[in-house]
Amino acid sequence: MTAQIIDGKAVAEQLRAELKSKVADLKTKDILPGLAVVLVGDDPASRSYVTAKGRACDEIGLYSDNRCLPELTAQEDLISLVEEFNHDPRIHGILVQLPLPKHIDEGPVVLAIDPAKDVDGFHPVNVGKMVIGQECFLPCTPHGILQLLLRSGVQIEGAEVVVVGRSNIVGKPIANMLIQKSLTGNATVTVCHTRTHNLADHVRRADIIIAAAGRPNTITADMVKEGAVVIDVGVNRVEDATRKRGYRLVGDVDFDSVKEKASLITPVPGGVGPMTITMLLYNTVQSAMRAAGLEA
């Protein structure tokens, strides 16, 4: 069997088109969803994420306010800016780009964000609501994975899912979402990590594999059941002298061999990646609708 490729770029474009038309509709009701993005320091990767977020807002017609603060910004000043956005009625979503410089403690900064504007879904109030199945902002990468599965027609209910990785931003939340007693959940989920014995034995049982380890070739063909759905979240740089920049990006899955056994597979790049910013836009639109008392 050769897998069908899940085209994350195409799914993200479709979702953005839906959001664009929702935003146009909201504008007729005098509602303009707004996103604030705060970057501290000069990390080139973070800067390019922030630029991409601003462009994505423009593309679907959102208001955006991007602030770039110097590397040596004091924690209190960053928190004051967050509080300013908490009270700004033009802003429905606040995102502080992580990681922050070492002298700033991430915890208090995330706690300072009004949970009603926490479109990253990292505030403990939103995390708690997600775990107990209440309405909340779902974190963007795992929400993007869920949308890829749903929009590819993958049967989640009753499926054996193996998630490789237990981080707070990918592994734990996607596992939580998929075990919810809901139409988009009802899976049986195993979460693996570096202390898991016999990773291959777990992965081999999976109808759906979600690889979020951050290590190339963590999932090889011998670990994959014939016909499994494979979602590769990993983004890893490997040296490649044939490329101008000296490296290429690969996922956690040995794509070339695994695609011969899977039924569906996401590529890297072009799989999960394009969904993350799209779900941020989705959450911002949802937030503006909730603030206006509309059904989100």
CB of 208 to ligand NAP, least distance (A): 17
For position 119 contacting ligand NAP by CB under 6 A, the verdict is: no
Q: Is the CB of 26 or the CB of 145 nearer to ligand NAP?
A: 145
- Beta carbons of 234 and 216 less than 8 angstroms apart: yes
Please pick, from the candidates 145, 146, 212, 289, the single residue that binds ligand NAP as defined by CB under 6 A.
Answer: 212
**117 a catalytic residue:** no
Site track for ligand NAP across 224-253, x = CB under 6 A: ---------xxxx-----------------
Q: Is the CB of 85 or the CB of 271 nearer to ligand NAP?
A: 271
**97 a catalytic residue:** yes
CB of 30 to ligand NAP, least distance (A): 33
For position 214 contacting ligand NAP by CB under 6 A, the verdict is: yes
SS (H, E, C) 72-137: CCCHHHHHHHHHHHHCCCCCCEEEECCCCCCCCCHHHHHHHCCHHHCCCCCCHHHHHHHHCCCCCC
- Beta carbons of 98 and 139 less than 8 angstroms apart: no
- Beta carbons of 235 and 266 less than 8 angstroms apart: no
Site track for ligand NAP across 184-203, x = CB under 6 A: --------xxxxx--x----
Q: Which two tokens stand for residue 207?
A: 């109808």
Kindly state the number of chain residues that form the binding site for ligand NAP, as judged by CB under 6 A.
26
For residue 229, give the H/E element and its range: strand 229-232
Buried b (16+ CB within 10 A) or exposed e, 121-145: bbbebbbebbeeeeebbbbbbbbbb
The catalytically annotated residue of 22, 53, 259, 261 is: 53
Please pick, from the candidates 164, 262, 265, 289, the single residue that binds ligand NAP as defined by CB under 6 A.
Answer: 164
CB of 26 to ligand NAP, least distance (A): 26
**286 a catalytic residue:** no
Q: Please give the backbone phi and psi of residue 256, each rounded to the nearest 5 degrees, phi first.
A: -60, -40
CB of 117 to ligand NAP, least distance (A): 21
For position 170 contacting ligand NAP by CB under 6 A, the verdict is: yes
Rounded-to-integer distance, Cα 202 and Cα 278, Å: 31
Please pick, from the candidates 178, 273, 279, 280, the single residue that binds ligand NAP as defined by CB under 6 A.
Answer: 273
Residues that bind ligand NAP (CB under 6 A): 141, 164-167, 169-171, 192-196, 199, 212-215, 218, 233-236, 272-273, 276
Query: Which active-site residues does the annotation give?
Result: 53, 97, 120
